[in-house]
Structure 1
Amino acid sequence: MPIDEIAILNCQIHNLSQQELLEQLTQGVVVTPNIDHLMRLQKDPEFHRLYTQADYRVCDSRIIFMLCKLFYPKRHLKAQITGSDLFPAFCNYHKKNTDIKIFLLGGSEESVKTAAHNINASNGRDIVCDYYSPPFGFEQSDAESERIIQRISQSEATVLAVGVGSPKQENWIFKHKERLTNIKIHFAIGATIEFQSGSLKRSPQWMTKMGLEWLYRLCQEPKRLAKRYLIDDLPFLWLYTKQRLGLYKKPW
């Protein structure tokens, strides 16, 4: 049965609860669109092309979730599903399913090692079977990508979770997924490895519920995130208003 979708600008977001997603996720690519992704989809046709190929596109942003609930009172998104919530929930859901074995790709050498240890400890088994911290610029090196592909292929992993930032993680997944025949599920998970390692902290629940997690992240990493949050993402509100007024035109 086709999954219900809601159009936010030029992205069709799948309208699922987290539990519904966990129950039906047996294969495919999972991406978690947030405002930064939606703004990139306005100007990057290749990123848009890849996004349309994803099997699951679920709402990562509390702001998008709240706006949708405000403007679509009878048919709004069921849930905000962040990658940082979904991935640990997926691990917990499959903690007794030994067919699920995960390869973590991303983070620093210390953070990915710690994240793997923490995930395995919290789930009572080695659900993360291997991990790797790729060097800076790895996605531009065919030789390095080949080494990563070989390592993943030689592992027992059936799930690949890539946390190297967007659009790098999505580009790498779609470029190489056909060669990773042992991998059934691909996650693009952003900063989740750092969250799982404890090197980055999630915002308090009250901030998340009010749509202020971006502000908490900005305070943690101002140099990296200031331009993204305060300049690049700001036009989203205007574009969304135009969509509600029937004035928005898809760039392609």
Structure 2
Amino acid sequence: MSTTPTTHRILGIDFFDGSAKEAIDIMRTKGGLLVVPAAPALKDLDRSPDYRDALLNADLAITDSAFMVLIWNRLQPIPIKRLSGLEYLRDLLLEPDVRQPGNTLWIMASPVSTKRNLDWLAGQGIVIPEDNIYMAPMYGTAPIDDPTLLERLNRLRPQHVIVTIGGGTQERLGLYLKRNLAYRPAIHCIGAAIAFLSGDQVHIPVWADKFYLGWLFRSLAEPKRYIPRYWDARKLLAIMLRNRSRLPKLRSELRS
């Protein structure tokens, strides 16, 4: 198959328009950084230079944000298909090279989520060697610098790196790895997708993901955490109406 992806430029980001299988084949062939931007993070494109730098320098950005897809398809005559991070991960975990012990390194968010994720993966027949599990520190908002992680990846050289930490941070970590590693793995920033499968967060059925209802399941499960987050994401509508395909200007640039 061709490894030249079909894309649509939305807010200055070239979003991939294709199937999960096609995206996985591209990543396997070329390596690099795959990002899965969600609306609560996308709304900060005009105020978070490090986050936007990560999206602009990603090798593949998939259309996980149902809100973004719905807005775009109302604004433009040529629609774009949604490819969720959950759908992408489901297909990714079926690939023999991802399931092969030692060929994938997992970056986990916490000890509790690590245990749940590893137990679920083991139930799927995917056993991860201890050295291929990395507990991410709290990176904060400062520029990321993690020589311990770089050393381990350069020593083990797994073909795949799967990042399961929060949106806004995982993309910055992915770009840091892409720029500083001595080789070029496929870096998949899939965030909370595995948590929907492992039970670390509420289970999202395939049908609910297909009909753009993942946000509703999360909001019903943890309303105090997710309702404010998704309400705040409404700001993405104004940003898309103003900019459409253009990259929004940083607020710091507008003020100066």
TM over 0.5: yes
Deviations 1:178-212 (A, max 9, x none): 44335511011111342342121233445434433
Residue of structure 2 aligned with 1:35, choices 35, 39, 45: 39
One-letter code aligned to 1:161: I
Cα displacement (A) at 1:172: 1.6
Secondary structure at the counterpart of residue 43 of structure 2: helix
CA contact (8 A) 2:116 2:200 kept: no
Residues 142, 207 of structure 1: CA spacing in aligned structure 2 closer, same or farther, 3 A cutoff? closer
CA contact (8 A) 1:50 1:174 kept: yes
Q: What is the RMSD of the two structures over their aligned residues, measured on CA atoms?
A: 3.2
One-letter code aligned to 1:160: V
CA contact (8 A) 1:162 1:169 kept: yes
Identity of aligned residues (%): 21
Cα displacement (A) at 1:156: 5.4
Count of residues in correspondence between the two structures: 245
Name 1:4's counterpart in structure 2.
Answer: 6
Name 2:85's counterpart in structure 1.
Answer: 83
Cα displacement (A) at 1:96: 8.1
Q: Distance in 2 between matches of 1:39 and 1:251?
A: 12
The 5-angstrom pairing of residues 100-115 of structure 1 reads 101-115=103-117
One-letter code aligned to 2:92: F
Residue of structure 1 aligned with 2:133, choices 131, 135, 144: 131
Secondary structure at the counterpart of residue 8 of structure 2: strand
One-letter code aligned to 2:79: H
Residues 25, 226 of structure 1: CA spacing in aligned structure 2 closer, same or farther, 3 A cutoff? same
Name 1:239's counterpart in structure 2.
Answer: 239
Residue of structure 2 aligned with 1:62, choices 66, 74, 83: 66
CA contact (8 A) 1:158 1:185 kept: yes
Name 1:170's counterpart in structure 2.
Answer: 171
Deviations 1:100-135 (A, max 9, x none): 82111123223223323432442x453677212234
One-letter code aligned to 2:43: M
CA contact (8 A) 1:107 1:133 kept: yes
Q: Distance in 2 between matches of 1:105 and 1:249?
A: 30
Q: Distance in 2 between matches of 1:51 and 1:84?
A: 19
Secondary structure at the counterpart of residue 203 of structure 1: coil
One-letter code aligned to 2:63: C
Q: Distance in 2 between matches of 1:131 and 1:235?
A: 36
Secondary structure at the counterpart of residue 216 of structure 1: helix
Q: Which moved more, 1:8-17 or 1:150-159?
A: 150-159
With a CA cutoff of 8 Å and minimum separation of 6, indicate the structure with the bigger relative contact order. Answer: 2
